[in-house]
Amino acid sequence: MTDHAHDSRTGHVVSPLILIGTLAALLVLTFATVAITWVDLGAFALWAAMIIATVKATLVVLFFMHMWWDKPIIPIVFITSLLLVALFVGLSLTDTGQWLPSQIPGYAPGIEGNSTP
């Protein structure tokens, strides 16, 4: 049996530089996550936090979890789960959005337009 020197039977071996680079990027983005709360972004604040979190998650999945070098079935499995999550949360929130303002006056005072009975 022939064994490639760097690609053993255990698969592709990641270069330590890539791992260190990913770590550095993650730490910078963590600082960014906290830093954006120092600026008043209003309604965009939640979006900004989620975008940064998703970038971090992508880095972890692609490089720490090795997906960059994996066979296609792996990303297919993972992305399918993400699509199901999007369906789950997305549809629940559309339902929330439709019921919320009109039903019980004053029940959710934090929502704009809901304080008038």
Residues in the site for other proteins, rule: CB under 8 A? Answer: 1, 3, 8-11, 13-14, 16, 19-20, 22-23, 26-27, 30, 33-34, 37, 45, 49-50, 52-53, 56-57, 60-61, 63-66, 70-71, 73-74, 77-78, 80-82, 84-85, 88-89, 92-93, 96-97, 100, 104-111, 114-115, 117
Cβ 105 vs Cβ 114: under 8 Å: yes
Report the residue number, 71 or 102, with the smaller CB distance to other proteins. Answer: 71
Report the residue number, 89 or 102, with the smaller CB distance to other proteins. Answer: 89
CA distances from 47 to 7, 44, 95, 111, 114 (A): 40, 5, 20, 18, 23
- Residue 52, token pair as written in the block: 């940064």
d(CA 82, CA 49): 18
